[in-house]
Structure formats: structure tokens, C-alpha cells
Amino acid sequence: MTKGQAISLQKNDGGSLTAVRMGLGWQAAPRRGLFGSRTREIDLDASAVLFADKQPVDVVFFRHLVSDDGSVRHTGDNLVGGVGQGGDDEAILVDLARIPVHIDQIVFTVNSFTGQTFQEVQNAFCRLVDETNGQELARYTLAGGGAYTAQIMAKVHRTGQNWTMTALGTPANGRTFQDLMPAILPHL
Amino acid sequence: MTAELVRGQNHPLSQARLEIRVSAGTPVVAAATLGDEQGRIHGVEWVAHPGTPTLPGLEVSKQAAADHRLAVDLEAMPEAVHRVSVLLALPNGSGGPLHFGAVAAPFVAVTGLDGTEVASYTVTGLEAESALVALELYRRQGAWKVRAVGQGYAGGLAELLTDQGLPEAHQLAGSMNEAVARGQARSVPAPPPRTPDADRSRQAAAPALGPDQSGSAPHGAAAPQGAPDAVPPQPMTPYGPQEPHGSGTTGGPGPSVPQHPYQGGGAADPSAVTQNAPTAGGPIDYSHPRRQNTAPPPPPPTAPPAPPGQPAQPVAGDATGWSMDERLYNQVWGMFEDLARTTAAYRSAVDFADSRMEKELDQVLSDPRSRIGGQGDAAREVARAKHAQLVEQAKAALDRDLAQLTAEAGVVEPALPAAYARWDNPVWHGYRVPMEIPMALRLGDLHLPEATGLRIPMLVRLPLQRGLWIDSGRAGSLDGSFADSHELRRLAMDTAVALAGRLLAVYPAGEFTVHAIDPAGSGAQALAPLVQTGVLAAPPAVGAAGVADVLARLTQRVDLVQMAVRGGAADSLPPGLDTSEQLLVVNDFPHGFDDRAVTQLRYLADEGPAVGVHLMMVADREEAAGYGPLLDPLWRSLLRLTPVPDDHLADPWVGHAWTYEPSLVPSGSQVLQQVLTQVAAARRSWNR
């Protein structure tokens, strides 16, 4: 997927998806220097913000792992990343059928909690997986990381009866999702 | 490009900054020595080891470990150095293997800083050696090379260092071992080994669940009349705090596992160090801490495939677990969570619809154009219609989920075992004294105003983690309509007796003992089922003397068991001591209690649960108000239940205020008497 691209979360057979997983994986870039074995740990955090009519209603992140309605679940904080080779280090499960009726957009963000910029991260990606069969629907690589500490990855929003995912890929700065709110709002 | 070296083979090194990775199947000490052209070590300052981990251009780990990364910068080496030998040794005195023949072949690799392997070597063919030179990096005509050496020494580090020409070889080997042992002592002690526990129910029950009582303030603003009672709502949790303590019935082995003390940084006493070492290097327990190694559970009943587009038909026991009891327990908690979350979704959608409509109506009001003609009315209509539509959608989603949960409750409720079932469940008529403690006990029902018909069983883990408080105070009732405090007291005592009877019934014969304190005899009528069937340990204690006597005996029991458990001598309890769980029912507190008795009661509330002594207070907090804040910790430590429906319990996920309703025996039913008669009979035959 590329920035700005949108895909419909409708199955090929016409049925709509019921559960998707937003997976995030990364590795810390190796450091130069004598004691290169000390790769510093990088803690990236995935968050999902639930919006109703452009108002944030609920948020799922490492301190609030399940949205109050139970439709969005974070599988838990990973402080170091580095499972790396294709696996998800953090994942957010979205039960599309259970999302409250007033929620119309869910924005996924990634923040560097330890403060390193994305220059120090390698092999970072976010992907959307159909949770029912494990099929990967979309993958978006955080390539060309720059001197910023957060990225607004993607949003999943209602289109009529169905859901659509749009890759956003906007760089931003902030330690947790709260810092990103001003940057998120233009994308709603 | 990785070169896999064999013994004696060499390989050029193009980089000066390198990392040497060591992996051995067991903790080993990694060190490096520097040598001159003849391979001789000039002195102890030419050896990098756990005691002096850094030399110019060289760093090794401070501890023995199964994996090492040594950093090497060949450019930083002094001119005189022509050889760097990488050594591995088995730490002695750690209780680990004593020679390399007993462990997996160590693997060493030379890598660049980016992790690419330059050369690797697996040291094979080792037997009685306890130290070895794995690799050497050497200077040849201005360029560095690596050679696989694999030379072992049965005499250990001392012999190895002697061979390299170090005069102080023995002293250095000794100080290296000491440094390693010190490093082990500093590291976090491995968790104490779990004692094998054959009794599944008891093991599972130790981290008992505590649907926390939340005072009488249900949810922030809606605090009822009893505002002074307000205690911050604490959530219930399905597994409760994970405190490792044994069940008091046997003076459980849990806490008797000695805590390995940390050794201070300067713990040079070798005896203390070696004593501690096996902990750090001890065997790893691969078993899951909360799972038991027994046969796999029978497969759970599966729902028949649902027609497409329809939710699956609910089936009782459709959850994970090792037994039907556990599956039903998990299923009930699953229903509890689903109802909490579904309701949260509905409430948040309606709240949002309300606030949006309000905002839109405000806008209409402030817009001057809306004052002309029907424009304003039309806009208001639109806002109301949007509100109605969203609420309707939310309601539809809620109804769909409630229908599914109601259907599930319809199949789960009849399938519940006695301990989870209401008193009107037929399972109680087929009651038999159980052989083992169930996982959990039903204390009552929970429901939400959105779905008053959908009752979730409130299950708490056994043995009880905390005492119970049946609130007979007027502040406890929902609307204060129970003006008749006598009626409320009677109901509270009935609730207490129904719960005590239930506890007696679900424990195996002789494993649960109930004491009662009824100072003024006002609870005699309610206590009749317990007294008549003879399941009480003794007749209810009356008067101040009776109170003092019962409290003294229970306090003594707590003391004894606690001492035995702390001293790790659970077997040395006096032979006459009753090892069953104890429940003390206190009616009419604080009547008949003097200061000493109150102190003892607080002691029992604090220390009792850990050793199987529990309280059940039937009391009105107002009446004990004279003690002031002294008793606040007591009330807080107890799970508050009410004799009449009251919304004071919070769920652990969203914090809704749930209405609790006690599980009472249907009026006119003799089921409690019948069950208790069986309990009494079983106890008589067990005592014989």
C-alpha cells in the first residue's frame, strides 16, 4: 500500500470482514561504535483512537488495552520490538461488527515512547490482517524514516455499511497518541 | 560470507572492530587474554575477565552466561600485543556441570558490528576439560587473522593460564571464579521452584477472585444516602491478585518456600555465595505456572454449525478450561464481560447522540437566520431525527447482543453445578456432599438496568480471598424504602445463613467450619437451619464472654498456622488443631465487643484470609460509627453484599454499577435444611 491509498474492507465474495488485526513490527537499527552489541532498545507503541463525528470517544493504547465497548483490543505492550522478521510486535484487534454505531473512524498511530526518531528504527511496518483467516490485506512499510517520533499510520472508516482502510503515513512528533491529536484531526 | 572453521584453520579479518559471540548450552565464563609475539601473557593486566571486564580494545561480560558478546577493537590494541585468545571456562562451585564433555559443544562466531558473521567455529570433541581456548585473533605481517584453536585444559583456568606463561595463574584463576560467583549472587534470584501441587482445585483457588466491594457509592455522582460510607469503587477481577499463598487448610506449602535473600554487592564470603549460586544457575522450570501437567481436557462441547448470517447457537461450557466447572466459570465471566462491554457501547452511543443533538440545537438557536420563518424548526427537526436514528441503531445493536446473551444464559444456568447455581436450581435437590472444593462459589446475581432480566451469576473463587460484609444498614438499600430496619436485619441474617450454608455444602466433609457470634441472640431465628442441623462448630456464642472466647480461639489458630507457615514447618502444628477453613459469622456487630475484641476482629480480617480464617459480618456500619475511622480498614477489607438489590458492585472492565441481588433460599423451600442435614451426616461419618 502507498500513502493515501484506500482499500475497501469487503471480502471478494461480497461479505464484509468481521475482525481485522492491525499489526506493527520493528527492529532497532544497529549502532555504530565499539560496543555495538548494545543496540539500544526502542519502544514503539501502537494506538488506536476511536472517533465519532470527529470527536475522540475512546482510545486503545498500552494503558487502556481494551476499548470500553470491547470492540478494539490491544494485545499488549512490547517494549523492545525486534521479533522483527515479519511477525507483529504489537497488534490491535478490531471486531468490526461490535464497534458502537456512532464510531465512524478509527485512526491507528505509532509513537516512539523512548524518544528515538524513526531513523533509528529499521524494518518497521504496519499491516492489516483479516483475523478470521490470517490473510494479509494490506502492508505499509515505514520506509525512509526521518527525524520524527511518531507516525499516523492509517485509518479505518465507515463507508455506508462497510469499512474502508486508508493509508495515511503522516509523520508527526509525540510520545503518546495525545500529542498527536492536532496532527490527526486534519485526516478525519 | 561466513567461514565455518575447523580446528586449526584460520581466516583473515578485514574489520578491526569485531564482536565475538559465544553460545553454550550452559552458563560459561568468557574471558580473553592478550599475548606477545611468543603468545606469552605479560601479567594479570593482560587478561580481560569478569573481575576486570575491560582492557583497551577489549570488553568481556561480568558474569557467567550461556550467551556472550565480547567486543574487540583490534586497532586499539597496544603495539606489543600480537595475540588475543578467547577463553571459555565452566564456573565452579555453581552446581553446574564440571567439564565440557557434559554440555553441548560451545559455538563461537566472529561478527562485524552489523551482525554479519565473518567466521564461526563449533568446539567439538571435548571431554574432561573445564577451560579452553576457543579462538585466537593474531597479528601476522600487519594484518589480523582468526584461528580456531579448541584447546582444552582439564586443570581448568589455572592450567590454561600457566600454559600461556602467566606467573600468577593460580591467583588469577581464583579471583576470576570469585568474580563470577559474586556476579551470580548479585543477579536477581531465580523464582523459587513451584512445589508440585496435586490438588488442582486448591492450586487454582489460591489466587482467589475478589469482586471487590465498592462501598455504597456506586459510580461517582450517584452516591446514595450513605455518603460517609463511600469507598472508591474497586473492580472485580476474574483471577484476583496473584498472591502466592497456600491454602490454610494444610498450612499450605506456598509461602514456606524460603525467599532467597539478595546478596549485597560486596558479598565476598564464598560460602554464602556458593550457597546462593544454585538459585541463579538452577534448572529452569518450563511448565506453565498456572497449568498442570495432566491429561488434556476433554473437548468442550461445540456448537452446531450456525446457518450463515446467524449467530451460533449458544452451548453451555463453550469456553476454555480443564474441567466442565472451569469452562462454565470462564463462560460466565465471558458473559459478564460481554454484557458490560455491550452496554458500554450502547451507553456511549446514546451519550454521543445526546451531546450532538444538544450542540446542534444550540447552533440553531444562535444562528440569526433560524429566526426567520420555519428554517429553525426544520433544523431542529433534523437534529432530533439524527438523534433518534442513532439511538435506534444503538438500541438495535444492544438488543441483538442481549438476545444472544439471554439465549446463552438460558442454556448455561441449568447446566451449572451446585456451587454456581441458585438455590431454586434442581441441582440442589440432587445434592451430594462433594469430594473436592469447587473452583468458585455463587454469591448472588448481577444485572444492569438495560437488561434487568439478564442475570449474571456472581462467582468468586474459593477459598475466599476476603471476608464478607452483609450490610444491614438502611443506607444500603436502593431507595431507602426499607424503613423497617428490623426487616432489613432479618433479611441480612437470612442472606448470611444462606451463604454460610452454601459454603458448608460445597466443601468436602470436614473441610469447612462455621462459627457464629450472636451476642444478643437476635439472629437465633435466622441461624436455626445451621443450629438445628448441627453443622455449626458450637452453638452461637452469646454475650461478651462468648465473643471473647470465640475470637481468642480463632486468633490463636491464625497465629499458629502463620508461624508454622512462615517457619516452613507446616507439619509441626499441634495434633488437635482443626485444619479446615473457618468462617466466623458475626451478627449485630459491635454489640458485645469490647476494645480488645474489636482489635482481635481486625487482626482476623487482616491476617485470617491467608491462613483460611474468614469473616462474615452482618452489620450496620452506622452502629459502629462510634469507633470512628479505626474500623474503616475493616470495612474496606470485606466484600460488601446487601440483603436487598443494590447497585454497588463495579465490573473490572468498564466500571458499570451492577445491581447485586443475594442468592436466597426461596421462601417455603426446605432445600437448605435438606442440604445441611446431608452435610452434618457426612461430617459425622467423616469424624468417625
Name the nearest CA neighbour of B474 among B597, B644, B590. Answer: B644
Selected residue with higher pLDDT from B73 and B302:
B73
> What pLDDT, on a 0 to 100 scale, did the predictor assign at position B311?
58
Whether A70 and B338 lie within 8 Å, measured CB to CB: yes
> What pLDDT, on a 0 to 100 scale, did the predictor assign at position B245?
39
> What pLDDT, on a 0 to 100 scale, did the predictor assign at position B212?
39
pLDDT at residue B620 tops 60: yes
Whether A102 and B348 lie within 8 Å, measured CB to CB: yes
Query: Above pLDDT 70, what percent of chain B?
Result: 77
pLDDT at residue B3 tops 90: no
**Cell of residue B316, nine digits:** 453451555
CA of B337: which chain A residue's CA is closest?
Answer: A70
Choose the mutation target among B59, B342, B352 for the interface with A, i.e. most A CBs under 10 Å. B352
Q: Could you say which DSSP state residue B117 is in?
A: E
Integer Cα distance of B688 and B678 in angstroms: 16
Whether A36 and B19 lie within 8 Å, measured CB to CB: yes
> What pLDDT, on a 0 to 100 scale, did the predictor assign at position B209?
35
A27 vs B: CB within 8 A: no
- Weakest-pLDDT range from A123-137, B101-115, B223-237: B223-237
Choose the mutation target among A34, A57, A101 for the interface with B, i.e. most B CBs under 10 Å. A101
pLDDT at residue A110 tops 90: no
pLDDT at residue B220 tops 70: no
Chain A partners within 8 Å of B651 (Cβ) = none
> What pLDDT, on a 0 to 100 scale, did the predictor assign at position A80?
66
Is the bond preceding residue B463 a cis peptide, omega within 30 degrees? yes
Whether B394 and A101 lie within 8 Å, measured CB to CB: yes
Nearest to A30 among B114, B337, B397 (CB): B114
Architecture of domain B3-186: Sandwich (2.60)
Chain B partners within 8 Å of A57 (Cβ) = 348, 352
pLDDT at residue B260 tops 50: no
A58 vs B: CB within 8 A: yes
Chain A partners within 8 Å of B349 (Cβ) = 100-102
> What pLDDT, on a 0 to 100 scale, did the predictor assign at position B455?
92
> What pLDDT, on a 0 to 100 scale, did the predictor assign at position A85?
56
> What pLDDT, on a 0 to 100 scale, did the predictor assign at position A181?
86
Which strand (E) or helix (H) includes residue B411?
A: helix B375-415
Selected residue with higher pLDDT from B506 and B269:
B506
> What pLDDT, on a 0 to 100 scale, did the predictor assign at position B218?
37
> What pLDDT, on a 0 to 100 scale, did the predictor assign at position B444?
93
Whether B356 and A53 lie within 8 Å, measured CB to CB: yes
The per-type count for chain A, helices as H runs and strands as E runs, is 1, 11
Q: How far apart are the first and last CA of chain B?
A: 79
Nearest to B69 among A37, A55, A98 (CB): A37
> What pLDDT, on a 0 to 100 scale, did the predictor assign at position A83?
52
Whether B17 and A34 lie within 8 Å, measured CB to CB: yes
A70 vs B: CB within 8 A: yes
Selected residue with higher pLDDT from B12 and B281:
B12
- Mean of the per-residue pLDDT values for chain B? 78
Integer Cα distance of B89 and B30 in angstroms: 7
Residue B549: burial class (beta carbons within 10 Å; 0-12, 13-18, 19+): middle
CATH of domain A6-28+41-187: 2.60.60.30
B430 vs A: CB within 8 A: no
Nearest to A102 among B113, B338, B390 (CB): B390
Contacts of B147 by beta carbon, 8 Å cutoff, 6+ apart: B5, B8, B9, B10, B11, B135, B136, B137, B138
Q: Tell me how close the Cα of A129 comes to any Cα of chain B, in angstroms.
A: 22
- How does residue B307 score in pLDDT terms, banded at 50, 70 and 90? low
Is the bond preceding residue B590 a cis peptide, omega within 30 degrees? yes
> What pLDDT, on a 0 to 100 scale, did the predictor assign at position B521?
86
Give the CA angle between residues B367, B370, B372 to the nearest 5°: 135
A161 vs B: CB within 8 A: no
Chain A partners within 8 Å of B390 (Cβ) = 101-102
Nearest to A100 among B69, B337, B345 (CB): B345
pTM, two decimals, is: 0.63
pLDDT digits (tens, 9 = 90+) for B583-604: 999 998 888 888 889 989 989 9
> What pLDDT, on a 0 to 100 scale, did the predictor assign at position B445?
93
CA of A33: which chain B residue's CA is closest?
Answer: B113
B59 vs A: CB within 8 A: yes
pLDDT digits (tens, 9 = 90+) for A52-75: 988 888 899 888 888 888 889 998
Nearest to B71 among A34, A101, A102 (CB): A34
Q: What is the 3-state secondary structure (H, E, C) of B619-672?
A: ECHHHHHHHHHHHHHHHHHCEEECCCCEEEEECCCCCCEEEEEECCCCCCCCHH
- How does residue B509 score in pLDDT terms, banded at 50, 70 and 90? confident
Residue B245: burial class (beta carbons within 10 Å; 0-12, 13-18, 19+): middle
Specify the fold of B466-570+578-688. Rossmann fold (3.40.50)
pLDDT at residue B250 tops 60: no
- In this prediction the ipTM stands at 0.81
Whether A66 and B348 lie within 8 Å, measured CB to CB: no
Chain A partners within 8 Å of B393 (Cβ) = 101
> What pLDDT, on a 0 to 100 scale, did the predictor assign at position B190?
36
pLDDT at residue B125 tops 50: yes
Q: Tell me how close the Cα of A41 comes to any Cα of chain B, in angstroms.
A: 16
> What pLDDT, on a 0 to 100 scale, did the predictor assign at position B331?
92
Whether B114 and A36 lie within 8 Å, measured CB to CB: yes
